[in-house]
Structure 1
Amino acid sequence: MNRKTLVLPAVVGLLAPVLAACGGSDEGGEAIVVGTTDQFIASADSPAPLDPAIGYEAGVWNVLRQTVQTLTHIPRGGGEPVPEAAKACSFTDTENESYRCTLRDGLTFADGTPVTPEDVKYSIQRVIDIKDESGPIGLLDNIDTIETKGEDQVVFHLRTPDATFPYKLATPPAGIVPKDKYPAKSPREGFQVDGSGPYTMKPEVKNNQVVKVVFTKNPKYKGDLEIKNQKVELDLFPDAAAMGKALDDKKIDMMTRTMSPEQAQKLLAEPKEGVKLTEMPGLAISYLAFNTEAPEVKNKAVRQAMAQVIDRGSIASKVYGSTAEPLYSLIPSGITGHTTPFFDKYGEPDVAKAARTLDKAGISTPVTFTLHYTTDHYGPATKAEFEMLAEQLNASKLFQVDIEGKAWDKYRPEQKKGEYSVYGMGWFPDFPDPDTYTAPFLDKNNFLNSPYRSALAQDTLIPQSRREADRSAASDAFEKLQDIVATDVPVLPIWQGKQYVASLDGLNGVEYAVNSSADLQLWELGRGTS
């Protein structure tokens, strides 16, 4: 993938760039049906999986983006945020600490109720007030106060300078929701989502689990997006095989998250008549994470030895084939500031070096622990990946490792409670900037609820990186952050993935329907003449 420099705007202007549509429009006819293996389950531990204040997963965000409108959004093809629910946004100071947005005229929720600056304030303040420990609070907790002015303006006063704030306002946690449907201090339970976005939604639920979501074009929508269809159904499948069969049987028009590596490679090698495979840039990463207070891995020498033993290249090639490549930093290639500190520090896998690291720290071997992974969240190859990880670690004789897999609705609550010493996770970026690969793991209110702390990262480097409107100027801070991760190993990057989408002929806009951050943009899909 080509590296590109991301430059954040000082102003999000009144006029968004107009991009020519590639696909045709679909102003009538049958619904476009899109398949996914994402799962949305309500449980005692997670009764409100689709609340913007709670949901912090790619699949959840892909539902929210269709229904809940944000002040800004990332335009087709990427780049700087442009206005969406707002008609103009800008920093009003030179320090990037005060950000003002003016709402579009006549903006309403789907039921016709006017959207006001007070609604914007209410929606974002409730995310801050609910402060869910595994939710997206880290994206918004730099907001000090939210001020409304007149009938159409809202001003965000930040605690510290943050040039990435326009990007954060483009994420679903900053979405505008109606007060009468979302409690101020508690989550909205269930699966219904309401907003002022391009679609209304209706979930179909069986046994506290969503099996389908029907998105219907919102006639009240006013924003920057051009909607090329009237209705899209998101069908949820238990696995990639079932989703693939539905495409073969023409019961769905497109399959997205998550095709198996075998499916993608087979379509690459043996294209099927009537089926198009689209490859897109991928910024998703896979990594091991550690409860750094757990006795098995509390000493960083254990984590360093694991980094020295694991063969990322073998895992990527043997398990994922052409759909993944080894990763040697939290920041993947294709993002400004990417370096390779894990390769620079540890080089090729070397058991003797790992043994010396453990011996120097006085660690008795073999080090025994369980590798935990989720069975149903990141695709069907996860089990094979963890079997190979365990095989590599055990073959070194320095570790004695078992693996244990659990469904996501059990896995995530146990992980955030600190019940796992070593566990696997994946990460899809909140927005295309190096900040989203560092702050969620190293800052306060981090996504993993990790006990790991680096004062240098939290107090100096992260704030320093956010002062730079030109993101290339922040590269030095991000290089140091990556070096800290490679030295202390609170997380251990494994691979970076590519994205593939399979679709039936006649469906247009597929190349824009999933962006590099894995955001699903259903409004881009249409049928008709290209």
Structure 2
Amino acid sequence: MNRKTLVLPAVVGLLTPVLAACGGSDSGSSSNDAIVVGTTDQFTATKDAPAPVDPAYSYDVGGWNILRQTVQTLMSQPKGEGDPVPDAAESCSFTDSGSERYACKLREGLKFSSGDAVTAQDVKYSIERALRVKADTGVYALLSNIDTIETQGDREVIFHLKSADATFPYKLSTPVAGIVNPKDYEKDKLRDGFDIDGSGPYTFKADVQNDALVSATFTKNPSYKGAVKVNNEQVVLRSYADADAMGKAIDKGDIDVMTRTMSPAQINKLDTGDDSNVDLVEMAGLEIRYLGFNTNAPTVKSKAVREAMAQIIDRAALVSKVYGSQAEPLYSLVPASITGHSNSFFNKYGDPSVPKAKTLLTAAGITTPVKLTMHYTTDHYGSATKQEFEVLQKQLNSSGLFDVSIQGTPWDKYQTAERKGAYDVYGMGWFPDFPDADNFLAPFLDKDNFLKSPYVNNKIINTLIPESRREADRASATSSLTTIQDTVADDVPVLPLWQGKEYVAARNDVTGVAYALNSSASLQLWELGRGSSS
């Protein structure tokens, strides 16, 4: 079979897979032969981040890729286009006209993998636990609009919200709303290490060396009752140091599937079709990259410095030099394919211009060149991140207005240092919790934002975000969403750079690859199966 690229178009920001032969089919077949999946995500339990897979703590795509397989939620995101669907729940709906009362009824006979029954009280316990623990990752903020949780019998749960929130069903599909057994998870304390117990599609066993997860074995959970069909008996997820090591593993047949993050060079090579044994699946992605600012830091406290950076950085040149056709420039935190997107940064700054940047700095009385350090993580977003920051550094320094140095740090130290305010300027990526404009804005700008940013805009927090959430028809929220994006372009607490496509590569006897990622770029290992090579 000739390798082919399967382009999966986005419709209103959601992935609508196009089925094709071999790796693109969604028809999986169960097999006792474990499917081995490679990733460059690193999972480490450290003193600062001791509970990387506790639902009340985890807030990165790697951790969520583990939790979505193992810890069940009331709702789940579908494999293609559409709203969340019941998973642990039999049904869920708003029961009032103001989107402030949300009721769910659990499926009958739900069990944790231990055999214990899953009850409404367990749901209440799990979500209240996340809110009580209030982990420094900020993941609890997804649920912070909950006022009280009521249970009626063992199968009914009612959420009373502080204010209207049409996106609440999506929030119940995220791992922070995962249902855990009170026997295994203390109510006021995180569960350190890599133990997981839940009622999801798989049970979980971790191979840990030196406090780092080397591989994870997911075994089909016979007790699972939910929305998905599991097309395999077992999947092994292996962590590799970098994309090159992962690529060598699939070439040798040590793994069957490659996920995030492949290097641009690997993707280009697979795209040529030289390897007849491996298929590349390309998906329209919602991943974004951006620069964050500690707006209290002396180097970037002046808005004029941040505006000047926004005026100088050439996104098109950055994407062309580093990522080619695998990404596109982004002029808002909200990706172009999401309802409510506005090109706010382009509307304000237009094409890159050094003279305009100089005018901004001169008017603010800023002495040039502005000396600062931009930080990036060396091992979380792929091997091209260093090159990306080298390009950014050159663009800023070539203007004569900046004297920028760059510094890379491993993710296990980087994420905690950023949250503690150690970096003035830092690079981050965002994979959405759910495919709605709210999730590209509120986590950065609302109270308890996950960046721990000191930037506060009361109009955004108290008026615009609540206003947008009242609209069940998300297109009707566009006015509020646009105003938020325009305000971000004016104040520049963050600087969006680009949005990228998603890729999965698989040996051609693996089926279900077209659905291996959902619209939030989260793994759906249950879609993978074995089939005949075509």
**TM-score, normalised relative to structure 1:** 0.96
In the alignment, what sits opposite 2:518?
515
Q: Which amino acid aligns with 1:35?
A: G
Please say if 1:338 is aligned against 2:341: yes
1:468 aligns with 2:499: no
SS at match of 2:320: helix
Distance across 2 between alignment mates of 1:495 and 1:268? 21
> Residue 448 of structure 2 corresponds to which residue in structure 1?
445
Q: How far apart are residue 26 of structure 1 and its match?
A: 3.3
**Structure 1 position 123 matched with structure 2 position 126:** yes
1:524 and 2:490 are equivalent in the alignment = no
| Partner of residue 416, structure 1 | 419
Residue 96, structure 1, aligned to residue 85, structure 2: no
User: Is the aligned partner of 1:248 residue 2:251?
Assistant: yes
Q: In structure 2, what is the Cα distance between the partners aligned to 1:28 and 1:2?
A: 30
Q: Distance in 2 between matches of 1:487 and 1:78?
A: 33
Q: CA contact under 8 A between 1:176 and 1:195: conserved in structure 2?
A: yes
What is residue 362 of structure 2 aligned with on the other side? 359
Partners in 2 of 1:185 and 1:391 — Cα distance? Answer: 48
SS in 1 for 2:286: coil
- CA shift, 1:150, in A, is 1.3
Unpaired segments of 5 or more residues in structure 2?
A: 1-7, 15-23
In structure 2, the partner of 1:320 is 323
Letter of the structure 1 residue corresponding to residue 83 of structure 2:
E
The match for 2:156 is 153
Q: What aligned pairs does 1:475-494 form with structure 2 within 5 A after superposition?
A: 475-494=478-497
Change (3 A) 1:512 1:3: closer
CA distance in 2, matches of 1:181, 1:135: 22
Equivalent in the alignment of 2:47 = 44
1:193 aligned onto 2:196: yes
Give secondary structure in 2 for the equivalent of 1:393.
Answer: helix
**C-alpha contact 1:26 1:230 (8 A) present in aligned 2:** no
Whether 2:62 is the aligned partner of 1:59: answer yes
Does the 8 Å CA contact 1:24/1:527 hold for their aligned counterparts?
A: no
User: Whole-Å Cα distance in 1 between the matches of residues 9 and 409 of structure 2?
Assistant: 36
Instruction: Supply the distance in 2 between the matched residues of 1:334 and 1:271 (Cα, whole angstroms).
Output: 32
Distance between the aligned counterparts of 1:508 and 1:151, measured in 2?
38
Which of 265, 275, 278 aligns to 2:268? It is 265
Q: Which of 300, 305, 327 is equivalent to 1:302?
A: 305
Equivalent-residue separation in structure 2 for 1:452 and 1:28 (angstroms): 52
Distance 1:198 1:3, change over 3 A: closer
Paired residue type of 2:288: I
- 1:86 is matched with 89
Q: Which amino acid aligns with 2:85?
A: V
Partner SS for 1:492 = strand
In structure 1, distance between residues paired with 2:167 and 2:32:
41
- 1:107–1:222: 8 Å Cα contact kept in structure 2? yes
Give 1:23 deviation, angstroms: 3.5
CA distance in 2, matches of 1:211, 1:314: 37
| Runs of 4+ more than 6 Å apart | none
Residue 139 of structure 2 corresponds to residue 136 of structure 1: yes
- Normalised by the length of structure 2, the TM-score is 0.95
The answer to whether the Cα contact below 8 Å between 1:6 and 1:471 also exists between their aligned partners in 2 is: no
**Matched position secondary structure for 2:285:** coil
SS of structure 1 residue aligned to 2:126: helix
Give the letter aligned to residue 338 of structure 2.
Answer: I
Once the two structures are superposed, residues 435-493 of structure 1 have per-residue CA deviations (whole angstroms, 9 ceiling, x without a partner) of: 00000000001010000001110011000000000101001111001001100000000
Distance in 2 between residues matched to 1:405 and 1:312, nearest whole Å: 21
Cα deviations across residues 88-121 of structure 1 (Å, max 9, x unaligned)? 1011110000100000000010111000000000
| Equivalent in the alignment of 1:18 | none
* CA distance in structure 2 between the partners assigned to 1:205 and 1:362 by the alignment: 54
The runs of 5 or more residues in structure 1 that have no matched partner are 8-20
Aligned length, in residue pairs: 517
- Contact 2:138–2:448 (CA<8 Å) still a contact in 1? no
Which residue of structure 2 lines up, in the alignment, with residue 400 of structure 1?
A: 403
- Corresponding residue for residue 70 of structure 1: 73
**In 1, Cα distance between the equivalents of 2:88 and 2:278?**
36
Q: Could you tell me whether the CA contact under 8 Å between 2:9 and 2:284 is conserved in 1?
A: no
How far, CA to CA, are the matches of 1:127 and 1:23 in structure 2? 35
| Contact 2:261-2:382 within 8 A present in 1 as well | yes
Code of the residue aligned with 2:41 in structure 1: it is: D
Retained in 1: the 8 A contact 2:122–2:180?
A: yes
Residue 227 (structure 1) aligned to one of 226, 230, 237: 230
Question: What secondary structure sits across from 2:406 in the alignment?
Answer: strand
Q: Distance in 2 between matches of 1:407 and 1:247?
A: 25
Stretch deviating more after TM superposition (421-430 or 510-519): 510-519
Change (3 A) 1:498 1:5: closer
Q: Distance in 2 between the 1:476 and 1:271 partners?
A: 48
Aligned to 2:238, what secondary structure does the other structure show? strand
Which amino acid in 2 is paired with 1:218?
Answer: N
